[in-house]
Structure 1
C-alpha cells in the first residue's frame, strides 16, 4: 500500500478527502515503518496545532478497518504501518526506529504436524530486535557514554 492507493481506496469507499488524512498518509509513506498514534500527533502538531489524539486515533482506526494500515502492539501500545498488499510474509521490526523488513519464511507451514485437527483462520508472526543502523548508533552511544 502507498499513499496514492490509500487515497483512492478512501474515495472508492465514500470517505471524504481531508488534508489531515492526506498528511497522515504522507507521514506513513515517508517513515516506512511502524508509528504510534502519539508519534503521528507529534509529527502533525506544527501544521495542525490543535490536532487531538482522538482525531489521530479515529483516522488510524478507520485506515485499519478499511485495510490501509495494519496494526500490531508493542509494549502495550498500538502501532501502525501501511498494509502489505504483496505476497504472504511476516516482519522483522526494529524496536528503536520502527522500520520493518519482510520475512518470506512462514512458521505456519509446520503447524499441521503440531495439531492437524486445528483449523487456522489467520495468523501474525513478528520478530522484534534492532536493525543494523540502530545497533551501530547504540554502540556509538555506549562508547561515548563511557567515562
Structure 2
C-alpha cells in the first residue's frame, strides 16, 4: 500500500482526505519499518500547530481497521507501518530501530496439520531481534 492507494480507499469508503490525513499516510509511506504514534506526533507537530493527540490516535485506529496500516507491539508500545499488500509474507522486526525485512516462508502449512478440525481465520508471524546495523552500534 502507498499513500495514493490509501487515499483512494478512504474516498471509496466515504472518508474525507484532509491534509492531516495525507500527512499521516505520507509519514508511514516514507518510513522504513514500524514507527510509533509518538514519532508521528513529533513529525506532525513540525507541520501542524496544535495537532490533537485524539486526531492522531483516531486516524491510526481507522487506518489499522481499514487495512492501510499494520500494527505490532514492541517493548509494550504499539508500532505501525504501511500494510504490505503485494504478496503474502511475514516480517523480521528490529526491536531497536523498527526496520523490517520480509520473510517469504510461512509456517501455516505445518500449523494446519496440527489444527485439522479448526477453522483458521487469519494469522500473523513475526520474528523479533536486532538488524545488522543495530548489532554493530
Normalised-by-shorter TM-score class: over 0.9
Match of 2:84 in 1: 84
Aligned positions of 1:10-29 closer than 5 A: 10-29=10-29
CA deviation vs aligned residue, 1:23-47 (integer Å, no higher than 9, x gap): 1111111112111111110111111
| CA-CA distance at 1:58 after TM superposition | 0.4
Query: Pairwise CA RMSD of aligned residues?
Result: 1.3
Q: Residue 98 of structure 2: SS of its match in structure 1?
A: coil
Distance 1:112 1:131 in 2: 30
Aligned positions of 1:18-57 closer than 5 A: 18-57=18-57
Aligned positions of 1:53-132 closer than 5 A: 53-132=53-132
Whichever of the two has the greater Rg, that structure is: 1
> Using a 3 Å threshold, how does the CA distance of structure 1 residues 117 and 50 change in structure 2: closer, same or farther?
same
Gaps of 5+ in 1: 139-147
Gaps of 5+ in 2: none
Distance 1:56 1:79 in 2: 13
Give structure 1 regions of 4+ aligned residues with deviation exceeding 4 angstroms. Answer: none
| CA-CA distance at 1:129 after TM superposition | 0.9
Q: Would the aligned equivalents of 1:64 and 1:71 in 2 still touch at CA under 8 Å? A: yes
CA deviation vs aligned residue, 1:57-107 (integer Å, no higher than 9, x gap): 101111111111111112222111111112211100011211111101011
**Structure with higher RCO (Cα < 8 A, 6+ apart):** 2
Give TM-score, length-normalised by structure 1.
0.87
Q: Would the aligned equivalents of 1:38 and 1:53 in 2 still touch at CA under 8 Å? A: no
